Amino acid sequence: MSANRGEFRVGWLALCAATAGMSSGLALNAYINNIFAPYLLEAFDWSKSALALNGAISIITVLWIPFIGRMADIYGVRTVAIFGIVGYPCSFVLMSLLTGDVRELYAIHFLQVIFCASTTATVYCRVVAEKFSRHRGLALAICAAGPAVAGAIASPLLTPYIIANGWRAGFQAMAVFSGLLGVLTLILLPPKQDCRTSAPSQYSARKDYRAIFTNPAFRIIAVSSFLCSLTHALATSQVKIVLADHGVTPVEAGYMVSVFAVGVILGRLIAGVALDKWPTHIVAAIGMGLPFLGSYILATDTTHLILLGFAIILIGLSFGAEADILAYVTARYFPMHIYSSVMGLLTMAVGLAIGLGSGLLSYMLSQTDSFTAFLIFGGTLVLIGSLNLLRLGSIELANRQEIKAA
């Protein structure tokens, strides 16, 4: 027990820095977009399909996030993170100046992804993974829960503030919040030499990436990450709109976003503890597979708040668990000197899924003005992806046999 406390005693500063950074970075968009989406639709009379297409911009992470991860491995977390720490508050200021052309929203989101990708788990989780081993799952869960805690607090507070002062003032308030928390992150982050491994990588980029792509665990995790993330296109910006189609009032929907955020927090913490105690492949399959049931429930025409809340919390639980699971399996199956490089590639798979899922959602909405087909299709793919993660069990077994043989 004393050893466990000692691990947190040594790593608490790095954990606080990474948690603050995540809470004031790009991951916060999953909650902020849900809060502001109805007000933007009302203010500018945009169609739901046009707003959904905004999520397709995430597809640029296919090329960008792996580059960010590689830079974090080479230059350290602090050097890379500062671009997003400055850029994220500036993006909210730009949001407050929207004039009605939806292409302005697309352009700002594009800039967000470019500059603020350095404030994601690909960068910050490296700080935590280096400091924790025995309780790495729990530490990563605490870090990843930061944005969800901020989202759970922001939704019930920000919605009345927007009603009283307007959505432009809401974006300005978010700029102040993210800016202050970003400064705190810079103060707490360890210096560059502490953010990197004690010995620089002896391998070239070519050898590093060859080792990644030939690792069977990477192929399993990457495919499942893609399949299980397609429904994120809906979870990150359309929750209140989906609930409105079920007859939920704006106030009730606002609380539902908080329910989603609470689910994310619980999902991350539960997954973190579970990963430290039980087989990785079982925890990963369950944690990333929950949205299939939530999606099927939302695909029905039910108007029961309890059932809708259950669906939302299932999606939130998985949304939270996924972040912790990907950060954990990266540290488990790959050496630390390429941690952010691997995380960048896995985040790329998630970004590609969100981008393609947003495009597919936009198309389906333009054809039917209904979320049903997307929810059924996406939920089925989530189920397939989660079952695929069970294949990690054979890799665990092979690793144990190799250790015994040695």
Q: Which amino acid is at 304?
A: H
Q: Grade residue 193 by pLDDT with cuts at 50, 70 and 90.
A: very low
Q: In sequence order, what are the residues at sequence separation of 6 or more whose Cβ sits closer than 8 angstroms to the Cβ of residue 161? A: 169, 170, 173
The pLDDT, as a whole number, for residue 278 is 93
pLDDT in tens, 135-160: 899 999 899 888 878 877 877 788 89
101 sits in the region (left: phi over 0; alpha: psi -120 to 50; else beta) called: beta
DSSP label at 328? H
Q: Grade residue 378 by pLDDT with cuts at 50, 70 and 90.
A: very high
The pLDDT, as a whole number, for residue 140 is 92
Q: In sequence order, what are the residues at sequence separation of 6 or more whose Cβ sits closer than 8 angstroms to the Cβ of residue 292? A: 379, 380, 382, 383, 386
Q: Tell me if 331 sits within 8 A of 339, measured CB to CB.
A: yes
Q: Tell me if 130 sits within 8 A of 337, measured CB to CB.
A: no
Cα angle vertex 316, ends 314, 322, to 5°? 100
Q: Tell me if 182 sits within 8 A of 88, measured CB to CB.
A: yes
Q: Tell me if 24 sits within 8 A of 320, measured CB to CB.
A: no
Radius of gyration of the chain (CA): 20
Dihedral in degrees, nearest 10, Cα atoms 11, 211, 344, 362: -140
Domains of the chain with CATH codes: 2-405 (1.20.1250.20)
The Cβ of residue 103 has, within 10 Å, a number of other Cβ atoms equal to 8
Q: Tell me if 347 sits within 8 A of 330, measured CB to CB.
A: no
- The Cα–Cα gap between 129 and 108 comes to 32
- Convert 38-61 to b/e letters by CB count within 10 Å (16 or more is b): bbbbeebebebebbbbbbbbbbbb
**Quick one: angle between helices 29-44 and 250-277, nearest 10?**
160
Judged against a pLDDT cut of 90, whether residue 104 lies above it is answered with yes
The pLDDT, as a whole number, for residue 1 is 47
Q: Which amino acid is at 108?
A: I
Q: Model-level pTM greater than 0.85?
A: no
- The Cα–Cα gap between 160 and 373 comes to 33
CA 142 from centroid of its chain's CA atoms: 14
User: Which of 7-11, 61-65, 185-189, 383-387 is modeled with the greatest confidence?
Assistant: 383-387
The pLDDT, as a whole number, for residue 4 is 55
Q: In sequence order, what are the residues at sequence separation of 6 or more whose Cβ sits closer than 8 angstroms to the Cβ of residue 197? A: 130, 336, 337
pLDDT in tens, 236-285: 668 888 998 898 888 888 788 778 878 888 998 999 999 999 999 999 99
**Quick one: angle between helices 121-131 and 339-368, nearest 10?**
140
Judged against a pLDDT cut of 50, whether residue 370 lies above it is answered with yes
Q: In sequence order, what are the residues at sequence separation of 6 or more whose Cβ sits closer than 8 angstroms to the Cβ of residue 112? A: 26, 29, 87, 88, 91
The pLDDT, as a whole number, for residue 333 is 93
| Alpha helices per DSSP H over 230-369 | 232-235, 239-245, 250-277, 280-289, 291-298, 305-333, 339-368
